[in-house]
Amino acid sequence: MEETNRQRKIAGVLQKDLVDVLQKAAQDGMKGVIISVSKVHVTSDLGVAKVYLSIFPSENREEIVKGIQSNTPLVRHEMAKRTRNQLRRMPELLFFGDDTLDYIEEIDKSLKGNDSDPIKNPDVLAKRQKR
């Protein structure tokens, strides 16, 4: 099902304001960590927003995402204050880690030849499960 214009607009507003809120929190507590909001997807009833976070360095991703998930009520409250003139009701926020950059890095490493050759060594490839 395709997103409506309303869903896209709300996702854009949430993404812009979430970047400000999360980067401000990262500057206060975590030095050397960059948090970006890579994608926000809002459900059709505008009740739930899935937020995908890209975190650098990626070693701390799971820990930082769990910390943000535990502070979701505070983040949601701050977001409600920022968007009170644009949204009637603040959607529930669900945070997920985005591993797209790691995936791209693995592909790049394989293309440059820094990885073992999967043609010569097929054990390198992840085993696909048959469904």
> Per residue in 105-116, pLDDT tens?
777 877 777 666
Span 77-89, average pLDDT: 89
Alpha helices in the chain (DSSP H): 5-29, 61-70, 72-82, 100-112
Question: How is domain 5-116 classified at the architecture level of CATH?
Answer: 2-Layer Sandwich (3.30)
Mean pLDDT for 99-103 is 80
Token pair in block for residue 42: 């809002």
Task: Determine the pLDDT at residue 126.
Answer: 64
Could you tell me if 14 and 42 are in contact, meaning their C-beta atoms sit under 8 angstroms apart?
yes
Residue 124 has what pLDDT? 63
The count of other CB atoms within 10 Å of the CB of residue 32 is 8
For the chain, what are the domain ranges?
Answer: 5-116
Specify burial of residue 127 (Cβ count, 10 A radius: 0-12, 13-18, 19+): exposed
User: Which residues, other chains included, contact 90 with Cβ-Cβ below 8 Å and sequence gap of 6+?
Assistant: 76, 79, 80, 83
What is each CA distance from 44 to 16, 34, 41, 93, in whole angstroms?
20, 30, 10, 14
The per-residue pLDDT for 91 is 92
